Structure 1
Amino acid sequence: MPSSNTEATSLEGLHILVTGSTDGIGAVTAEELGRAGAIVYVHGRNADKIERTLASLRERGVNAPRGFRADLASLADTAKLAKQIVAQVPQLDVLINNAGIGTGGSRSQREISQDGFELRFAVNYLATFVLTRNLIAAGRIPRAVIHVSSIGQEDLDFDDLMLERHYSGVSAYCRSKLAQILFAFDLAESHPRIKTHALHPGTYLDTNMVRQAGVRPLGSAGEGADAILFVTRHALSDSPNGLYFDQQRTARPLPQAYDRTARARLRKASEELAAPFLS
């Protein structure tokens, strides 16, 4: 059950960036953070949707001073996003890496990003890696980094990170989500003053990602937002670092997440793949 310490942790006045916050869980999260007193920064791919989201949040009394446009399928765009945040956000307390893409539904054809990487690995993991690392390198180390991952996980094959053999959208998605958790645990160990957690927000919640996969939603986007707010408060409380949550309960991801050798291999591979885009 949620601890009273976590429930009591205030978000009032904290500056929080939520990636992928123009619809779905991200949009509800942004609103709920604002209702809790946070200053919310919005991110999305579409400029019009960003402006509509900001207007909607402000109508509801949320302090949402700025939005940022970036396509996380492009690591150049992601690196530019980090620079814009450094230049335009005077303070950043929490980074919530929520943006992502799903399994692709019934599509079985391998897709690639603008940089030639397998698309789900690029958007769900590599973009998160670049954005987070560049903000840290710029000295804008947030108090907490929250990775919105998934209970759907699959071990990484370091000989085939780009799934060039035996591709499936489900495997691509599940591997990218485990990669996020490995990164969260690695970051918690290398930067212990930054609370870094990962979470599964809920199963088949009512989002575009789930509907595009042809799945009937089993829960609301609000359930996912509640989980993100819980984990954010947990990260800001006096609590252990480097945890994985299944909604609002601590849980254990696949064992590979606890393998320091695997985490080091992923870090090295990521630094090599993203080298032109890292500060």
Structure 2
Amino acid sequence: MTHRDRTILITGATSGLGRELARTLSTAGGRLILHGRDPEKLDSLRTELAASSAVIDTVAADLSDLAQVRSLAADVAELTDHLSVLVNNAGLGKGSDDTRQVSPDGFELRLAVNHLAPFALSLGLLPLLEAGAPSRIVHVASGAQQPLDLDDPHMEYGYSGSRAYAQSKLAMVATGFMLAEHLPAEVTTLNSLHPATLMPTRMVQEGYGYTVDDLSSGVAASRHLIESDAVAGVSGQYFSGTERAEAHPEAYNPETQQRLWQLSQELTGTSL
């Protein structure tokens, strides 16, 4: 598929890595469907990219709310009959303190946004991805991963922002491995990545107050999974930057994967 024929959905496109990725991809033509939570920020982004060679559409949804995640999938289906790439980029960092927050559905907030939303959105968009075959799902995860206490997935005890973030990213990666096993790689691939370390984004500044890598590193890593021929047909892998890497060992545990999958289906009300 040529760049001008492809349709890419990027979640969390109004700031940080998502915005820079959208700006970079917009120069290659095709169609970008850009998601954000704030309609005004989406309007600003559309204006910024108006002169680009890509067709730009925007969709608004708060991914902490599963009803809005489902509406987002429906809105995307109204815009296009196929997807070439789904980039699950939107997420929450560890936060500025260790105050536990919950989603509108009553779930621990980082689990809801960083894992349950992309899980439900990916399943909801599978028909469009199948229609856009060969298509790709890219999970923007993190090198920060930590096993979940599956008896307390919403962290009602012993909460910390760092642990909530790391647990949500392990859940994203582990269920991504499992979903990849269910998808024919010639139709849709799914890979997860750690794009870069502490890039200059709002979540990093809020949580850490300093940066390490720049956004261009994260864009390069993301684009590798989005469009590189080197990963055509490659699925169920974890990348650090542009290189294959090993996720946390617990992400490969079949029992953990199965329990996380069942929990994710129950909480989101979605299934294959």
What interval of TM-score do these two structures reach, taking the shorter chain for normalisation?
over 0.9
* Partner of residue 123 from structure 1, selected from 113, 120, 142: 113
Q: Tell me, what secondary structure is at the counterpart of 2:181?
A: helix
Shift of 1:239: 4.0
Q: For residues 9-40 of structure 1, give each alpha carbon's deviation from its aligned partner in whole angstroms, at most 9, with x where no partner exists.
A: 95342100000001110011112122233321
Structure 2 length normalisation: TM-score?
Answer: 0.93
The runs of at least 4 aligned residues of structure 1 exceeding 2 Å deviation read: 9-13, 138-142, 233-240
The one-letter code of the counterpart of 1:100 is G
Within 5 Å, give how 1:50-129 maps onto structure 2: 50-59=42-51, 61-105=52-96, 107-129=97-119
- Which amino acid is 1:101 matched to? L
The superposition leaves residues 152-197 of structure 1 with CA deviations (integer Å, 9 ceiling, x where unpaired) of 0001221111111111000000000111111211111011231100
Partners of 1:133 and 1:209 in 2: CA distance: 27
Residue 175 and residue 267 in structure 1: after superposition, are their counterparts in 2 closer, same or farther (change >3 A)?
same
Q: Give 5+ residue unaligned stretches, structure 1.
A: 1-8
CA distance in 1, matches of 2:113, 2:229: 24
Question: SS at the partner of 1:43?
Answer: strand
For residue 43 of structure 1, the aligned residue among 27, 31, 35 is 35
Which amino acid counterpart does residue 269 of structure 1 have in structure 2? L
- CA displacement, residues 228-273 of structure 1 (integer Å, 9 cap, x when unaligned): 0012124784343111111111100011111222111111111111
From the superposition, tell whether residues 256 and 10 of structure 1 become closer, same or farther in structure 2 (CA, over 3 Å): farther
2:6 maps to 1:14: yes
Asked if 1:158 corresponds to 2:167, the answer is no
Task: Identify the residue that residue 5 of structure 1 maps to in structure 2.
Answer: none
In the alignment, the residues of structure 2 paired with residue 41 and residue 238 of structure 1 have an alpha-carbon distance, to the nearest angstrom, of 22
Aligned to 2:239: 245
- Out of 209, 216, 224, which is 2:210 matched to? 216
Percent sequence identity over aligned pairs: 34
Paired letter, 2:3: L
C-alpha distance in structure 1 between counterparts of 2:36 and 2:9, whole Å = 11
Q: Distance in 1 between matches of 2:208 and 2:54?
A: 35
Q: 1:181 to 1:238 in 2, by over 3 A?
A: same
In the other structure, the counterpart of 2:226 is 232
User: Could you say what secondary structure the match of 1:58 adopts?
Assistant: coil
SS in 1 for 2:40: helix
Q: CA deviation at 1:140?
A: 4.3
Higher-RCO chain (CA-CA 8 Å, sequence separation at least 6): 1
Per-residue deviation, 1:112: 0.4
CA RMSD of aligned residues (A): 1.8
List alignment gaps of at least 5 residues for structure 2: none
Secondary structure at the aligned position of 1:245 is classed as: strand
Structure 1 residue 92: deviation in Å? Answer: 1.0
